[in-house]
Structure 1
């Protein structure tokens, strides 16, 4: 007979008593650090264990030379005052995605576009809603914008089941989304919400050396045990500069800019001391402020927005801080010398891509990897913007070639979209090399399109980087055929990702027919991908690049006059 509550075996009584004593000791003050509750924390007044003695003010004055225009002249555009009718189809796709989120996942971070319902991926603070806020405004959906904004200003950032948040993602999505929605609409309560979140993220810099870690852990922040990472991706802390600078510009409180500037100082100090001078490795020691814990270099995962933000922060600051031009120029030169390659192809002679490089730790030389990724497609826009701002036409032309190469990659697969990660056989130089059919036959993946060596990750996750660069180069050059390229990409993307509810990442871009859906619709789908498609078919004065700078999540910040 199973023991009743009144007839427990003797061993359960002894075990229960021991457990009770253990719990009593565990919670006795001084024996263990309890996790502090955050639901009552006022982050603007939270104790700083390592306060900064000085706050660096925002740079002022006049630039060494006036910032040149980024957009092409109106005469360069074929239809400067007429909206392309293809824009309406983009908006319908956005509205379908937004309505599915409203119906199935309102207030949650992301929609499950296949199974329905939602999920929490970024702290439970309505990431898709915050990310889509400025897209709603730009597309003229003002009632939807204000309904969402009313919900967002009521979010309590202290209310989360997470113990830690990804500092980078929260900064670019939530803080960036709030700042851009305020810049566009003028709603003061959205700026107030940005300040509330900014004060929380500001605490991530409360470390012995003032540099943040990759994760913002609430308990560590409240107990003074935060430390910068020893093997962190540099893009994470480096990508705080744009959002924190805009927050300082809007509030007049320089503390945010000053905190992010400590990362800038570290990067500027170490840029020439790495094993590939001009570039930063994909892992760095921020805790001990050493240049390299790795000798692997890429502008993809872990490094992308570090480079992307160099010309963008220059524009946002009005060109008065010359460090960003110097850092961009050094990085641009080394990227072109080391990471840029021409793939061996049978019938295409104008494709350029960006790969990876492994510097040798104990001997001179570099091993190149002719592998790239969808994330690296942002570089076309980066080179275009850098070339425009710093008057280097060669960089603008390179940016356009990189953007077109990513568009070409979309056309190579039956789904009409490109994979996450892939590889080629590289030509010995940037000159066209002879096609070697026999060499290609020994490729890693037997089912790849002709010329492609391997598809390392065959997924497509609704990513925006390719259309981002094509949009930016269209605005910089006025070349009308870039719109046609974008349209072909859009048709392939929608056709291969559509579900009964909305749109989903897919498992394999090489599927011919019905694709396997991954039941994921990341918030950047509505924040970036569809926004860039909408903008490329809008008139060029819609969000002019001479008046706005877009963060890495496509949130536009107004450039101060």
Structure 2
């Protein structure tokens, strides 16, 4: 019996194996067909040698060498499909890779949130959902699945001789999958055509500097470079190939995707600072990066775009572009961009901001988030635009132009605070309320007659040819519009994300979207007017709703940008948070640059005051470094603002009005408690006195009886004559062993503190024997500690020995007393180390951020005023003093105390941004001139166009 059951199991598993082998054999022809259509070849065996130097006589030699070298064969200005050629060339020498053509994803229960593309677009367009010509798109944009080989085996950079290192990376790799919502080639938004417009100059016309000024400037510049060299050497030794250096423990960490974030982020900094040997060495590591595999399950799209894609493109631009010879930079940028393009494959082409890159997830239909950050959504434009300009591939520009169009439409339609956008955005493109109504209608259609008119009305459309039809696979009744299943959502544009209050500000989660509007206008040569309109409306809204002047001790005329919280009616319910955040410090540079290029002089002045505000925040702390986040007190009148100590202290103590009442109430309760205690003690003492007297009376009567009995026994004749006379004793007479006097005295000695012995005048038996004993004991130097005794029998020591309430005038020793307003303020300032002018500091850390020095650099380049160099130098010295480690620089936990703690983190933007801005502040003005370059939010410079497409 048992053997037969075992055979049944064997037969069952054997059948499964045979079935799987059959399926593999059935699909083998399809595998061969796909792989044959994509012959993979290895990269060229060697690259052309790069220039050895870009300065001096070496520069001329290297230029001649570059001219004599053949152009890189992988790129051509006539190539209409450059990215596909690069992907095609990645594995040319490899054996054909068999990759099956992905089948259509079935709509299962696990994919209920997604809708497969309909067969026809007519009904979908009428329903208000963005759709494309799928047949046309399949011809032009949908590519078969390809598997990009491992890139960790590479030839490295030019002029650098190192042995090849074969990667040991294994695991799942990203693969390009067919799009579910492709854009037909005819509908791709092209880059603006034509000659760039004449744009006002941004930089100040600097005069020739004196020898002394040049010497000071160059000395400072070299000190900045020394910090870069030390930090880079530490990264190279302890964290090469990883995202970030841990500068205290000399280790590394990978908070992003493990694609060497610091290395890629710092490439253009190395070139700008003249560290070309380090730049060339770094290219070896760049070639090893495999963007098709990650240590993270999902790619953070915003950070990856600004740090990696922006870093590669900027390094390509600053090193000479196509003529520079470092084609690996563009290769890698395209490889990464092709992966990131998958995030735009949504019904409304709004990007997924955390991308599950593994094929099993990437192949599924998806929608954008319903609670996306404005900054993450709107800060992809510059990087994809620059890539489109370099490659002449409009699809990269199309991807971000659609996001810009969505913001432009939303700004035109109006937000709660006109001109700017709430911190969180619903980017799904679905009207959830209408969607719920449609689902309810479909549910009703399964059980009762379908009312076509009502559903059309709910959908907001009147031209749909809607009918119901039973799905033969699922058995469910579906609503059919023409030939297509009705989409599962009703289309809408961008709207506020989440529920409840909306937040508007220029800080984290919002900042770089606003920063990119004027910068994108520059990058496109002024040919796309939408970016100008977007910026001008933003600046007007910020000036009306967010800018404020803080009240500070030296009455400096500075500005900050606040945050406003509203439930949709800001004129009525707006609540303003007068915050001071390091992330918001970029806004000074943005206003100043926007004022120059759009010819709004007042905005340049506003930019200067905003930058001064962040400089003041640096100067105010014990370390000389601005905290991450704090709040200050706004001036009642921005045009006439003077320091008011009373108002400031009231801001420090929101409950200042009730402090006096609290103290009065405390003393009232204390007096009542003290009176009650005194009354209780008096009553207890009176009772004990009565008990004592009664006891002593009884004792005397007993002693009298015993004496009389004793005398009558010993001397009957004299008993009568001595009756009623008490026995006398001398001071030095000792009580007998059984004497009650001795016993009572011992009890008194152990209980009564000296301060609580009754006044002898109150004792009716002062001249009696107990009084005599007390006097003798009190004068006896050998007596027990008098503080451990108490004269009242029956009263426990624990009751009398409690800590008494302090007198009203003993204020400092009364921990229970509420603080006065003055005391509360003094305590807050002391305990929190609050700089004068700050109401609170909710984030005391400094994580090597660049935003403040970024605006200082912009103001110096725009105004030419050397005061900005002096302010910047104080900032640099303070930062280095507190963050420098043996091998780099570390974030610190508290800028409000001189002895702060380093927290062992060196963000990639320290070398990519902060040190770069400091270096450029002391460089010659023509190095990364604002009239020739435009920097992304990660300080990566892109070339401004001088010809169509910016080439």
More divergent stretch after superposition (162-171 vs 425-434): 425-434
Aligned to 1:216: 355
Residues of 2 paired with 1:402 and 1:160: CA distance? Answer: 40
Aligned to 2:604: 396
Q: In the TM superposition, what are the counterparts of 1:364-443 in structure 2 within 5 Å?
A: 364-365=571-572, 366-442=574-650, 443=652
State the Cα distance separating 1:149 from its structure 2 match: 1.3
Q: Is the 8 A contact 2:175 2:292 kept in 1?
A: no
Residues 372-430 of structure 1, C-alpha deviations (whole Å, 9 max, x = no match): 21000000110011011101111111111111221121111111100000001112342
TM-score computed with the length of structure 1 as normaliser: 0.90
Aligned to 2:366: 226
Q: Is the 8 A contact 1:164 1:217 kept in 2?
A: yes
1:303 aligns with 2:510: yes
Report the CA distance shift for 1:44/1:165 in structure 2 as closer, same or farther (over 3 A).
Answer: closer
Q: Aligned match of 1:510 in 867, 880, 896?
A: 896
Report the CA distance shift for 1:481/1:76 in structure 2 as closer, same or farther (over 3 A).
Answer: farther
Q: In the TM superposition, what are the counterparts of 1:152-551 in structure 2 within 5 Å?
A: 152-185=286-319, 186=324, 187-219=326-358, 222-272=362-412, 273-288=414-429, 289-293=493-497, 295-361=502-568, 364-365=571-572, 366-442=574-650, 443=652, 445-446=828-829, 447-512=833-898, 514-551=899-936
Q: Is the 8 A contact 2:589 2:854 kept in 1?
A: yes
Q: Residue 92 of structure 1 aligns to a residue in which SS? A: helix
Q: Is the 8 A contact 1:213 1:228 kept in 2?
A: yes
Gaps of 5+ in 1: 1-16
Aligned to 1:13: none
Q: Aligned match of 1:48 in 150, 158, 179?
A: 179
Residues of 1 paired with 2:527 and 2:209: CA distance? Answer: 31
Q: In the TM superposition, what are the counterparts of 1:111-190 in structure 2 within 5 Å?
A: 111-185=245-319, 186=324, 187-190=326-329
Q: Is the 8 A contact 2:244 2:906 kept in 1?
A: yes
Aligned to 2:45: none
Residues of 2 paired with 1:412 and 1:76: CA distance? Answer: 34
Q: Residue 338 of structure 2 aligns to a residue in which SS? A: helix
Q: Is the 8 A contact 2:350 2:427 kept in 1?
A: yes
Q: Is the 8 A contact 2:417 2:570 kept in 1?
A: no
Q: Residue 425 of structure 2 aligns to a residue in which SS? A: coil
Residues of 2 paired with 1:404 and 1:197: CA distance? Answer: 39
Q: Which has the higher contact order (CA 8 A, sep 6+)?
A: 1
Report the CA distance shift for 1:429/1:50 in structure 2 as closer, same or farther (over 3 A).
Answer: farther
Q: Is the 8 A contact 1:356 1:372 kept in 2?
A: no
Report the CA distance shift for 1:483/1:223 in structure 2 as closer, same or farther (over 3 A).
Answer: same
Q: Residue 398 of structure 1 aligns to a residue in which SS? A: helix
Q: Residue 227 of structure 1 aligns to a residue in which SS? A: coil
Q: Residue 455 of structure 1 aligns to a residue in which SS? A: strand
TM-score computed with the length of structure 2 as normaliser: 0.54
State the Cα distance separating 1:500 from its structure 2 match: 2.6
Report the CA distance shift for 1:265/1:42 in structure 2 as closer, same or farther (over 3 A).
Answer: farther
Aligned residue-pair number: 534
Gaps of 5+ in 2: 1-8, 24-105, 112-144, 150-171, 430-492, 654-827, 947-951
Q: Is the 8 A contact 2:564 2:575 kept in 1?
A: yes
More divergent stretch after superposition (213-222 vs 94-103): 213-222
Residues of 1 paired with 2:258 and 2:110: CA distance? Answer: 26
Report the CA distance shift for 1:285/1:429 in structure 2 as closer, same or farther (over 3 A).
Answer: farther
Report the CA distance shift for 1:209/1:221 in structure 2 as closer, same or farther (over 3 A).
Answer: farther
Q: Residue 299 of structure 2 aligns to a residue in which SS? A: strand
Residues of 1 paired with 2:276 and 2:330: CA distance? Answer: 18
Q: Residue 377 of structure 2 aligns to a residue in which SS? A: helix
Residues of 2 paired with 1:452 and 1:262: CA distance? Answer: 42
Residues of 1 paired with 2:175 and 2:945: CA distance? Answer: 26
Residues of 1 paired with 2:272 and 2:892: CA distance? Answer: 28
Residues of 1 paired with 2:869 and 2:640: CA distance? Answer: 27
Q: Is the 8 A contact 1:549 1:558 kept in 2?
A: yes
Residues of 2 paired with 1:274 and 1:473: CA distance? Answer: 31
State the Cα distance separating 1:62 from its structure 2 match: 4.3
Q: Residue 75 of structure 1 aligns to a residue in which SS? A: coil
State the Cα distance separating 1:132 from its structure 2 match: 0.8
Q: Is the 8 A contact 2:147 2:175 kept in 1?
A: no
More divergent stretch after superposition (394-403 vs 358-367): 358-367
Residues of 2 paired with 1:360 and 1:103: CA distance? Answer: 52
State the Cα distance separating 1:454 from its structure 2 match: 0.5
State the Cα distance separating 1:38 from its structure 2 match: 8.0
1:102 aligns with 2:241: no
Residues of 2 paired with 1:224 and 1:308: CA distance? Answer: 33
State the Cα distance separating 1:353 from its structure 2 match: 0.7
Q: Residue 284 of structure 1 aligns to a residue in which SS? A: strand
State the Cα distance separating 1:364 from its structure 2 match: 3.3
Residues of 2 paired with 1:362 and 1:73: CA distance? Answer: 46
Q: Is the 8 A contact 1:506 1:517 kept in 2?
A: yes
Q: Is the 8 A contact 1:108 1:127 kept in 2?
A: yes
Residues of 1 paired with 2:405 and 2:308: CA distance? Answer: 25
Residues of 1 paired with 2:534 and 2:175: CA distance? Answer: 33
Residues of 1 paired with 2:195 and 2:361: CA distance? Answer: 38
Residues of 2 paired with 1:329 and 1:44: CA distance? Answer: 42
Q: Residue 416 of structure 1 aligns to a residue in which SS? A: coil
Q: Is the 8 A contact 2:407 2:494 kept in 1?
A: no
Q: In the TM superposition, what are the counterparts of 1:61-80 in structure 2 within 5 Å?
A: 61-62=194-195, 66-75=198-207
Q: Residue 521 of structure 1 aligns to a residue in which SS? A: coil
Aligned to 2:224: 90
State the Cα distance separating 1:81 from its structure 2 match: 7.4
State the Cα distance separating 1:501 from its structure 2 match: 2.3
Report the CA distance shift for 1:33/1:126 in structure 2 as closer, same or farther (over 3 A).
Answer: farther
